[in-house]
């Protein structure tokens, strides 16, 4: 096995035993990028020179200092809608093609403090709007398992990079499943934490009440280790919870004896691919045999989640993206514009891609006079009902287990001209964002050689329990 394919946990151990250096690991990752990046297109910006300098610094620190952060010297990648000082942040949009932030997002500052090694900024659906990483102004990302298939979205570049060995772990964002779906499609562990658990400061906004930062890793222990580095209160983010970073790694081996896990009837219905249902139920059997209690539950408002999500998300997107007007920064179409109104129109018409414009128009419509109460206000009421469904369920169970996607990964181009089919890929993931709850995705088998996944949902700020359950499954499934 190449160094670029090893888990972060194992590489961390090897670095501390001085069996390998960060420069050696980084060079292994760079070689893999040379081999595969041209066909995969996982990155928008590669920072090989920066990575080697950071690796050399980490090696010196690891040699001289005891008690270094667990992620020191580990190569990673960051989704390109997260601000990085001095490194362009494009959101995969022509609108921000040349934008170079003057500051780091809080999660980037924490990763720098942990002395990680930045390999580059990964591809995504433009502004995070998509489920396949086909809506990028810089070309689509391919699935490393089978390059004819999508890597999922919108954090598809992050998922592809880790799955291909172009990074040991990656940071993504999740507004309606954008970490969990790519993780499932690429055979990875992906976590979306509780809303407020990780700072959103420096994340380019899509839908502010739904956006969250999380990670894509090769194992549950890697996930817990990365989460510990990212979590914690941040005064720069008014939605950041006033909680310290939890101790997640040491809690993993507690086991699942006595834990009650709910299976919601609404997630196992017609339309769920039989191969996914079989794989998920096999995961349930493994977890049950490890000591957990399985219970049937109901989340009755689940059928309304997708409609609710796409009303709220597009409304917030329309407001957030109003700032891209060609005046202060970003793309500006002024070479043939006769006045400021035409400049605004041309800038937004040329700078935004098709899917982004579709969501802006939908969001503008649902917020417009005469339609606000019928659509946006009603969606907010349904959001409350969805959150109350989860609250009621968690009086009976400790966590909930569901599929991630109703289908296995689909081919590139198969759904790009059918927005409704694309949106329905999120049917099992959006409810967590509406409710603000944590969820973790784990691989649970394959169909026609392509990865399948399931997700575990937890109570607010109880990432520890879902990581414990995931860890038990991983150890007993041979994953």
Angle at 358 between CA 319 and CA 351, to 5 degrees: 75
Least Cα distance to 358 among 180, 130, 187, 92 occurs for 130
**How far is residue 236's CA from residue 256's CA, in Å, rounded to a whole number?**
37
Q: State how far the alpha carbon of 238 is from the alpha carbons of 9, 146, 197, 241, 411, in Å.
A: 33, 42, 12, 8, 40
| Token pair of 421 as six digits | 């089919």
Look up 392 and say whether it is catalytic.
no
* CB-CB contact of 196 with 433 (8 Å): no
Catalytic member of 154, 199, 219, 229: 154
Catalytic member of 79, 93, 132, 240: 79
CA quadruple 343, 345, 346, 349: dihedral, nearest 10: 150
In the DSSP assignment, the letter for residue 411 is B
Look up 405 and say whether it is catalytic.
no
Look up 132 and say whether it is catalytic.
no
Helix 220-230, helix 8-16: angle, nearest 10? 80
**How far is residue 62's CA from residue 18's CA, in Å, rounded to a whole number?**
9
| Token pair of 120 as six digits | 């580059």
**How far is residue 325's CA from residue 345's CA, in Å, rounded to a whole number?**
8
3-state secondary structure of 159: helix
Torsion angles phi and psi, residue 442, rounded to 5:
-130, 150
**Residue 248: CB partners within 8 Å, gap ≥ 6?**
224, 225, 227, 228, 463, 464, 467
* CB-CB contact of 220 with 8 (8 Å): no
Catalytic member of 12, 21, 93, 178: 178
Angle at 219 between CA 215 and CA 223, to 5 degrees: 35
**How far is residue 82's CA from residue 211's CA, in Å, rounded to a whole number?**
12
What are the residue numbers of the active site? 79, 154, 178
């Amino acid at each position: 096995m190449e160094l670029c394919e090893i888990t972060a946990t194992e590489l961390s151990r090897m670095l501390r035993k001085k069996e390998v250096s960060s420069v050696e690991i980084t060079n292994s990752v760079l070689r893999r990028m040379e081999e595969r990046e041209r066909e995969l297109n996982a990155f928008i910006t590669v920072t090989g020179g920066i990575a080697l300098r950071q690796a050399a610094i980490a090696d010196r620190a690891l040699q001289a200092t005891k008690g270094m952060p667990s992620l020191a010297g580990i190569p990673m990648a960051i989704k390109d809608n997260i601000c990085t000082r001095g490194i362009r942040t494009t959101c995969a949009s022509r609108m921000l093609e040349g934008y170079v932030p003057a500051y780091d997002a809080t999660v980037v500052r924490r990763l720098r403090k942990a002395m990680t090694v930045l390999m580059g900024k990964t591809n995504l659906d433009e502004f995070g709007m998509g489920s396949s990483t086909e809506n990028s102004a810089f070309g689509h990302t391919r699935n490393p398992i089978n390059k004819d298939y999508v890597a999922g979205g919108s954090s598809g570049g992050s998922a592809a990079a880790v799955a291909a060995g172009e990074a040991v772990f990656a940071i993504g964002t999740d507004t309606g499943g954008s970490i969990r779906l790519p993780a499932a499609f690429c055979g990875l562990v992906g976590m979306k934490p509780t809303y407020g658990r990780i700072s959103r400061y420096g994340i380019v906004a899509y839908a502010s009440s739904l956006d969250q930062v999380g990670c894509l890793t090769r194992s549950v222990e890697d996930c817990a280790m990365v989460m510990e580095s990212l979590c914690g209160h941040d005064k720069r983010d008014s939605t950041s919870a006033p909680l310290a970073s939890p101790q997640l790694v040491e809690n993993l081996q507690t086991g699942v004896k006595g834990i009650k896990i709910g299976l919601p009837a609404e997630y196992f219905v017609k339309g769920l691919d039989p191969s996914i249902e079989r794989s998920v139920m096999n995961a349930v059997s493994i977890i049950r045999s490890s000591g957990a209690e399985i219970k049937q539950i109901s989340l009755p408002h689940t059928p309304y989640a997708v409609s609710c999500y796409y009303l709220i998300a597009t409304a917030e997107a329309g407001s957030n993206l109003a700032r891209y007007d060609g005046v202060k920064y970003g793309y500006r179409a002024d070479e043939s514009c006769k006045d400021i109104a035409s400049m605004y129109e041309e800038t937004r018409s040329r700078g935004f891609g098709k899917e982004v414009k579709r969501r802006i128009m939908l969001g503008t419509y649902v917020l417009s006079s005469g339609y606000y109460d019928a659509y946006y206000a009603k969606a907010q009421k349904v959001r409350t009902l969805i959150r109350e469904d989860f609250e009621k369920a968690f009086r009976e169970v400790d966590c909930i287990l569901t599929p991630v996607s109703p289908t296995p990964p689909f081919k590139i181009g198969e759904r790009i001209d059918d927005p409704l089919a694309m949106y329905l890929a999120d049917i099992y993931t959006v409810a967590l964002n509406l409710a603000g709850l944590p969820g973790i995705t784990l691989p649970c088998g394959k169909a026609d050689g392509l990865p399948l996944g399931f997700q575990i949902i937890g109570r607010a700020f109880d990432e520890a329990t879902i990581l414990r359950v995931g860890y038990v499954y991983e150890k007993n499934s041979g994953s």
